[in-house]
Amino acid sequence: MPPRTYPQYQISELERIARRLLEERFSEGVSIPVDIDYLAESEPGVSLDIMPGLRHDFGIAGAVVVHPKARQFTILIDQSVADGNAAFYRFTLAEEFSHLVLHRSVLEQIETVEDAARLHASPAYYDHLDRNAKWLASALLMPEWCLQEDARALFTTLRTARLDEPTLTYKLTIRLAQRYNVSQAAMSHRLRNWPLDVYDAIRQAFAAGSNFLP
């Protein structure tokens, strides 16, 4: 059974973990879009596999199970997810990998897909595990320092078209989502919140009549 207590993380800590992982695994620099398959498969003691019916039979797009004797982990991704929308697949894999990074002590007790489904269905999963894993997944797929630089350059380019603020914000979000191969919703959430606060910076730039983000 999963433990009664769970690791807790501050957002600033999750951002530091993401940066450390990316700098360690991509020592020559991070390429965009981030190679999340490589990031997961290069984790020691971890393999990646595709499972038909995972979503249909258990209601989950991805899961992590442990092999109790070998103490090796497998990240399972539903086959329809792997064969479908690339952005959804990438975020699903990033989230399951993030669970491994953050919640290994919990996952060491998840030996079957049935165990994983029960964990996903538990209130503790959403109260303690899901939010942190999603944030780390976002930070891995959309690294703060890369995204900040891209947002500033794209803002200046879009300003030359004399777009109004809502249109520019929409176009900037769409183009960055395409570049990072994530959903528009995921990109919007990343740009709206700390540590980027890009939407707030856009408002400030328009108020000041500037062609550059502060």
Q: What is the pLDDT of residues 102-131, one digit of tens each?
A: 999 999 999 999 999 999 998 878 888 999
Predicted pLDDT at 3: 52
The closest alpha carbon to 57, from 116, 108, 125, belongs to 116
Average pLDDT over residues 151-178: 98
Residue 7 is predicted with a pLDDT of 86
Q: What predicted TM-score, i.e. pTM, was given to this entire model?
A: 0.95
Name the residue among 175, 31, 47 with its Cα closest to residue 100.
Answer: 47
List the structure tokens of 62.
């991805």
Please give the C-alpha separations between residue 160 and each of 47, 147, 154, 209, 210, in angstroms, as whole numbers: 47, 20, 10, 12, 11
How confident is the model over 6-60, as pLDDT tens digits? 888 999 999 999 999 999 999 999 999 999 999 999 999 999 999 999 999 999 9
